[in-house]
Structure 1
Amino acid sequence: MENLASNIRQKLTGTSFDTPSEKSSPTGPSILNDFRKIQMPTAKMGLGSTEGDLIYMVKKYLEIVGLVVFVWILGYYHFSVSWILLIVFIYLFRQHQRTQFKERHKMLTEINKNEEHYIKARLEELPSWVFFPDVERAEWVNRIIKQAWPYANKYIDKAIFRDVMVPMIRGTHPALADFSFEKLDLGEIPPRIGGVKVYTDNIRDQIMMDIEVFYAGDAHIKSKVKGIVCGVKDIQFVGDLRVILSPLINTIPLFGAVTYFFLRKPSIDFKLTDAGTLVDIPGLNDLMLVQINDIVASMMVLPNRQVFPLVADLQVGYLRYSNPQGVVRVIVLQARDLVKSDITLLGKGKSDPFVKVKAQGNEYKTKTINNTSEPHWNEVFEFVIEQNETDSVEFEVYDEDPGKDDFIGRAQFPINTLLDKEAVTTWLTLKDVKKGSINVCLQYFTLTTEKSALDIIEQTNNQMIKQEKLSKALLVVFIDRCANLPRSKKTRREPNPFCTIQVDTNEVKTHTFESQTNPLFEHISHILCSNPVQQQLKIQVHDARSNNEVIAYFEIPVKQILNMDTMTIDSQEFPLKSSSEPLDRASIVLRLSLHVLSPVRSSSSPVQLPSPTNSLRSFDSFAKQNSLTDSSNKSSLEHNSSIDRTPSDHQHHLDPISEHFTPSHDKTLLVSDDPDLESAPFGQIKLGIRYTVNRKSLSVTIYACKNLIHVHNQSLPDAYIRVYLMPDFKKDKKKTKSVHDSTSPVYDDLFEWSAPLNDIHRQHLFISVKNNSPLFGNEQTYMGDIQVDLSNLDPEKNSIAWYALHEPNTSSAGLIKIKYDPNDQNTSHF
């Protein structure tokens, strides 16, 4: 007992005391005196024990009192109840946004504090170096950044915020002429690097790195305009930064300059303080975030880049611009079996779907199709591609609503799978939703300076689609600088110049400079031209200080660039004009280059002009043919168990999935040769199973069923199929559409799971056929199931075969291996 008292006393007081040498009774007075001597830690107990708790309670009390008084005032002055409902809606919506913001901030903060613990807790949000072996973990770099972060504050304060951002912000609008930073505290938490991927095989004289950067620190920044102080805190930043060390030289530091830019628009979020809380309401806050993202994009998102020279007298001007690698044409055709997010009074769902198409930092939107889950869009979008090895085309489907649009699925397609194909038409399974797929057509065009290619692309465009202005060439405009710009006529002050680059309706804007007559823009723009022979390039110089007045302009026909030997006008100075008065020595330095789109030709296809008889047919007829595919498939099944179908002649070359899963290419195992199908009392199901290596994706196509059991004496079943990937992906369940009144339904539904091949080999497919029975009906629900073992999955083979269904809810059949056709010697390498 004496030892226990001694230990407790040492833990709580940090001191030791003498114990009696004689043993005493457990209940003796010495022990009681020892416990009385124990000093408990001083702390206040109970509600409001600390100053922070008291402040929190006061703030909460004032919020409630203010809300009650405000509602009382509305009632006292007989305001409509609609105002109360509107205010409550805004309050709840803002609370929801704040909760999401806090969750994101907490997540990134936890990663900064203890990455290992967070990884174990949140396996679904691992950094890229976990999934991709070519992305390396850069923990040693994070340690260096953390150690040097306090010393970097002063440099970032002067070199970035005060020398770069202050003049730029002042030049955007006359009202911001006195903008300044009142407080600039970047805090103690530094930015963090998630992973680094190094490219050394692309170009010999450069080293290229992709760096994942994210920041969720404790920075607090305050700015002042017109005497009003506005601040931001809890800044969140996530982006993919590309760093290029080029050119490599034989003297220290071994490379002449550092070029850095973001591959796509980074994600930026923050919380407003001081006077900024007045605009921290839905709508205005989102508008401000859009403006900030646009400013960052105009400076550091492709095709714009920043160059930091390291060696004097080294020509690095060419590093500020680069020609893109190609153009991707995307045709959003249709969708099927979309989630019905709107519930009507009669209980039937509906959706008003539209699609957002994203690539290379650009985003386009289709029109909205009302009241359907099977929409047809048939719209074309084109994207300039800077890096075709790593970029993807992303599709996000939404249900348009008066308030916030409902998300009903997303899909993506890697661009590198298009590089050796003429055209790809495929169905993509929508992710993050229970069902739905989208039908798209994609085509990749390389860029060439051969003038003869203009005739090829013109005929290709005319034969592919009607009533659309498709691009034939890409114009790259690099504005280096302007000189001797005119001053304001009234005030004689130097202008705040910015430029707009325009070809027909396509317009691009540069960033704005403050009080400059010789601004150094170094801005690059990519403009797609539908008719380079007749179109005109017009560059206008505006003064933001004078309500964006045009103070000078320059015009040149695109045909003049086309007629150059290399289709390039390299860094030439042109005189500027003015519509009001002649300009003295005002000029602009430009680099202009034109590139003709060239369709990709497969190795077996000779490069020649397409003829009307064998070229791509018109898009209208393709859309019509595509919409009739399902009905023709259903009728053919009733007469032929192999389900032969006619392929679409628009699909000159299909992607790794659609090429092998198009039934005209199928080599289905014969029913008579398969002993597993001799006795199938619960029916049969036709499956297509394939793994695509370069996409790291397992694709499973549910083609059809036949000879399904009857679930009711008086009606045929309404069969649908559930697909699970067990055991690691059991939560990601897939579902086909329901086919009414049929024992031989046709589905043709494609499902995908993204995972490495080694992980897929440890899984098995669980496929269950069910009847879509009424809510209070007495019909049977389960009609049969099957489990397919994926341990023998071969990425170089494609399996399309019939399988026998077994009694539902039993494990008597066990796992069945994937069936491959032994006579099919064709392999494919994708």
Structure 2
Amino acid sequence: MGDEEAEKVKDVAEDVGHAYGEWFRRYMHTFTRRFFEWFFVFLFGYYNISFGWLMAPLFFLVLRDKRAKEKKMKFDIIQSIANADEKDILQEIQRFSNLPSWVTFPDMERVEWLNKIIRQLWPYAGHYVQDLCKFSIEPSMRTALEEYKLSGFKFEKIILGDTPPRLSGVKVYDDTSRHEIIMDMDFAYAGDCKFEVSVSKFKMGIKDLQISGRMRVVMKPLVRQIPLVGGLQVFFLNNPDVDFNLIGLADVFDMPGLSDILRSIVIEQIAHMMVLPNRYPIQLVEDINTADLKCPSPAGVLRIHVIEAQNLMKKDVGLMGMGKSDPYCILRLGAQKFQTKTINNTVNPKWDFCCEALANVIRRQRVTIECWDYDYSPLKSYENDDFLGRANLDVHDIWKNGEVDMWVPLSDAKSGRIHIRAAWLDLDEAASSLELQLEEIRALQTSTKNPLHSAVLMVWVDSAKKLNNIPDPFVRLHVGNSQQETTVRQRTNDPVFEEGFTFLVRNPRTQELKIEVLDHKTNQLQGKIEVDLNVLLKERNLEILNEEHTLSGASGGLAALKLNLTLRILKTALKKDDGDGGPEEKGEVNIDSSTPAAITESISPTSPSSAPQPTLATPIPPKETPSIPVPADVSDSKSAPIKESVPLAEQSEGPGVVTDAGVLVKSESKVSEPSVDECIDEVMSSAASPLMHMGPSVTSGEDSSLRQRSPNEAGVHGLGRIELTVKYGPRNNLVTVVHQIKNLPVEEDGELPDPYVKLYLLPDRSKDSKRKTDVIKDSCNPKYDERFEYAIPSNELTQRTLEVNIINKKGLLFLQRSPKMGQVLLDCGLLDANKVTQWYDIAPAMDDDDE
């Protein structure tokens, strides 16, 4: 018992000692902290240091804490979306705003089976990611950080975590070439990964990485051997959304301004790797065209003209609240970025800025135009500037129309709209097209004063041989002020580069391509080549393929560089028909040049000898329709195709759109054909009657007259016709473009009206739902080309109706008895994605409410 009591006494003594030691450590910690706090306060007072030195760190700490909470909330939301399974998503569908794309867009398919496979493979992806970070990302980051005087970038730890990426929707295109497969995937990753790096002997890291965006996978070419696919091209259509939290020493940089610089570096490196026009190629079969896989030819060039803006928000508040802004614009197409100049002290700036961007794909890519108010920042950070709004242009719409010229309202802004003109330029193999393009450039540059281009040069650097001194070679290419470089090949005299580059050329008759081969370590010139681009204009198809060029200045005179050179002349595009309801070709029908370019979608005309088909854009042959009146502003019946709305039952590609406030307008047909009359009778009985609640009903006399003749230019009610584009966009927004009105009636006293268009998204008739165009003075044929947007969830479309009112502003303070000249009601639940632009007959207004 004595030994046991001794052990207990010993244990009690040890516990007392530990408790005393823990109390002493806590006491010393508190004492030391309080001592330093009072000591610093004493120093501030002793040296008469301003109180602002205490407030500045406190201010930044508060901002940092606020940013951390916002990022944590955003991360939790994205992580919940990325990790939710199908059942959870379906349960939250009615109250969840950020729905996956397969819910919002029916053409995006669910791939839960693929997500299960990715979850199973995720632990095995760690080795590939380590190699990717070590050999691809690390050298690029090291080079980029050297510009900021930061050297020695290195990955210390790479942990992917347990949360795999998720594909929330997949679409496979079925209207592509038979030699390729194109697949779009909505990619989202919000995982528990952790990356630690060292920069200049300081260790730091990131965690909670978030990446989301639309990724495209192109499988081409298809071959006749396993794996049946020759190669893959993986890329993002636009810059993905990237965010992360900093750990370690880097947590100090998580401040406004500094964090923006770091994130911009990361986004730029991702864009440099796999955001169009850059692609991440994966070769699966040896015997394929490597140049076509790694550097395919661009689809065309976009010429974007940012003209002006109106009624921007006032961010620089002055005396009496009469502030202005210092606006500028940033344009992005994939990884390409352009910036206008800054116009000081105005909310109605006129930039007159023109730029050209390479367009590698047509569908699902957009031009983003962001408007900012410039505020001086020593860090040159965008976070210090105030956001004024954003506008988006669909590349497919520009390609289809050849040119668009319209005012676009700024989203995410209280007010403001921007005037944008965008044109699509095709790539032509004919040298004879150069002079015409040069003339167009001279005419444009007199107004914009910006350098424009007439051609595109594509250079494929294949390989070099017999270089000297076993260098670390790379190739540098110059065209005008543009410069691009290949990656460095280590310790070889016969490097294989296999890299492609694309340059915009101002005038190939006067410019040349300069190529230099240099040693990366010594920066010593190994040889150079100068190619006069005028030589390419004399070659067949404007290209020189698989030719070895001797490097001048190389010792021994044996070094050579193997190149492919291809020149393409820019040619102003015509309206195209891509097979899904696009406008007709200008080559088929002479379209009036005075008609403004607009976002239109209609069907190509049929030949006079063919059977009549329901179309949206059908030119009327004068021999077949002598009784149809021709509008006064059209001199030739062939110069202005008349676009007709198609009834629901007559459309073969999908559900139609309610027209004429419930009155269905028939497509053109020959009266002498009884089969067409029978078809119209069936349509009126089966399709039209359930929709009559949308507007005034049609009497039997009117119905009979509709079957006996085609609708005239003034519409079935004699109130004119209006051309509208109505479609549901990818950002859960209803886009409406008011193009033009034809043949409005004159007033009773013979005066011309002053019309404008007012829109409501019913059942909401509040101020927030109202949209208005400009007033066109003294015109029965006004042209607007103004675009409006409504933010609306997709599951509410069937409950909404778009009310389009045409109002005459003639008179003093609207003293007329009824300012409305007519209206059109469109059921948003019956919108047809294949026919978004149509002509609608204006019906009498159902109410006479004043403005």
TM over 0.5: yes
Aligned match of 1:445: 425
**8 Å Cα contact 1:166-1:179 kept in structure 2:** yes
The SS at the match of 2:319 is: coil
Aligned match of 2:604: none
CA displacement, residues 764-806 of structure 1 (integer Å, 9 cap, x when unaligned): 357999xxxxxxxxxxxxx999997533988632355785864
TM-score by length of 2: 0.66
Aligned match of 2:536: 561
The SS at the match of 1:120 is: coil
How far apart, in 2, do the equivalents of 1:397 and 1:63 lie?
Answer: 48
More deviation, 426-435/75-84: 75-84
1:102 matched to 2:82: no
**8 Å Cα contact 2:803-2:826 kept in structure 1:** no
CA displacement, residues 608-660 of structure 1 (integer Å, 9 cap, x when unaligned): 9xxxxx9999xxxxxxxxxxxxxxxxxxxxxxxxxx9999xxxx999x9xxxx
1:243 matched to 2:277: no
How far apart, in 1, do the equivalents of 2:85 and 2:767 lie?
Answer: 25
The structure-2 alpha-carbon separation of the partners of 1:137 and 1:586, relative to structure 1 and needing over 3 Å to count, comes to farther
Amino acid at match of 2:535: Q
1:764 matched to 2:801: yes
> Which residue of the other structure, out of 450, 454, 459, is the alignment partner of 1:472?
454
Post-superposition offset of 1:531: 1.0
> Which residue of the other structure, out of 788, 791, 806, is the alignment partner of 1:751?
788
1:531 matched to 2:507: yes
**8 Å Cα contact 1:571-1:591 kept in structure 2:** yes
**8 Å Cα contact 1:697-1:755 kept in structure 2:** no
1:218 matched to 2:255: no
The structure-2 alpha-carbon separation of the partners of 1:66 and 1:600, relative to structure 1 and needing over 3 Å to count, comes to farther
Post-superposition offset of 1:422: 4.5
TM-score by length of 1: 0.67
C-alpha root-mean-square deviation of aligned residues, in Å?
5.0
Post-superposition offset of 1:451: 0.7
Aligned match of 1:19: none
Aligned match of 2:236: 262
Aligned match of 1:373: 347
Post-superposition offset of 1:261: 2.5
**8 Å Cα contact 1:335-1:439 kept in structure 2:** yes
The structure-2 alpha-carbon separation of the partners of 1:228 and 1:727, relative to structure 1 and needing over 3 Å to count, comes to same
Aligned match of 2:479: 503
- Where do 5+ consecutive residues of structure 2 fail to align? 1-27, 378-383, 576-583, 597-630, 644-659, 662-694, 698-718, 746-755, 776-781, 807-817
% of aligned pairs identical? 31
> Which residue of the other structure, out of 538, 541, 545, is the alignment partner of 1:570?
545
Aligned match of 1:717: none
CA displacement, residues 725-781 of structure 1 (integer Å, 9 cap, x when unaligned): 235897964555999xxxxxx996652337799965632357999xxxxxxxxxxxx
CA displacement, residues 79-104 of structure 1 (integer Å, 9 cap, x when unaligned): 34554454344334433433332233
1:184 matched to 2:184: no
1:697 matched to 2:742: no
- Where do 5+ consecutive residues of structure 1 fail to align? 1-57, 488-492, 609-613, 618-643, 657-667, 677-684, 707-719, 740-745, 770-782, 810-830
**Size of the alignment, in residue pairs?**
659
**8 Å Cα contact 2:479-2:513 kept in structure 1:** yes
The SS at the match of 1:401 is: coil
How far apart, in 2, do the equivalents of 1:143 and 1:63 lie?
Answer: 52
Aligned match of 1:591: 564
More deviation, 282-291/205-214: 282-291
**8 Å Cα contact 2:824-2:841 kept in structure 1:** no
More deviation, 330-339/796-805: 796-805
Aligned match of 1:38: none
CA displacement, residues 564-608 of structure 1 (integer Å, 9 cap, x when unaligned): 212122233334445xx7476544333221110111235675699
**8 Å Cα contact 2:277-2:334 kept in structure 1:** no
Aligned match of 1:407: 387
Q: How does 1:635-674 map to 2 (within 5 A)?
A: none
Aligned match of 1:148: 121
Post-superposition offset of 1:217: 0.8
CA displacement, residues 15-40 of structure 1 (integer Å, 9 cap, x when unaligned): xxxxxxxxxxxxxxxxxxxxxxxxxx
The structure-2 alpha-carbon separation of the partners of 1:354 and 1:450, relative to structure 1 and needing over 3 Å to count, comes to same
Q: How does 1:73-112 map to 2 (within 5 A)?
A: 73-84=43-54, 86-112=56-82
The structure-2 alpha-carbon separation of the partners of 1:277 and 1:498, relative to structure 1 and needing over 3 Å to count, comes to farther
How far apart, in 1, do the equivalents of 2:182 and 2:528 lie?
Answer: 37
How far apart, in 1, do the equivalents of 2:525 and 2:111 lie?
Answer: 49
The SS at the match of 2:74 is: helix
Aligned match of 2:762: 726
Post-superposition offset of 1:162: 3.6
How far apart, in 2, do the equivalents of 1:541 and 1:115 lie?
Answer: 53
1:391 matched to 2:365: yes
Q: How does 1:782-801 map to 2 (within 5 A)?
A: 789-791=825-827, 796-798=838-840
CA displacement, residues 648-696 of structure 1 (integer Å, 9 cap, x when unaligned): xxxx999x9xxxxxxxxxxx99xxxx999xxxxxxxx999673435967
Post-superposition offset of 1:513: 5.6
> Which residue of the other structure, out of 133, 137, 141, is the alignment partner of 1:161?
133
More deviation, 260-269/749-758: 749-758
CA displacement, residues 129-154 of structure 1 (integer Å, 9 cap, x when unaligned): 22222221222111111112112223
**8 Å Cα contact 1:766-1:788 kept in structure 2:** yes
The SS at the match of 1:289 is: helix
Q: How does 1:617-628 map to 2 (within 5 A)?
A: none
The SS at the match of 1:442 is: strand
Amino acid at match of 2:127: K
The SS at the match of 2:320 is: coil
CA displacement, residues 401-455 of structure 1 (integer Å, 9 cap, x when unaligned): 2352222222222122233434321111222223322111111111111011112
Post-superposition offset of 1:550: 5.7
> Which residue of the other structure, out of 231, 237, 256, is the alignment partner of 2:205?
231
More deviation, 89-98/316-325: 89-98
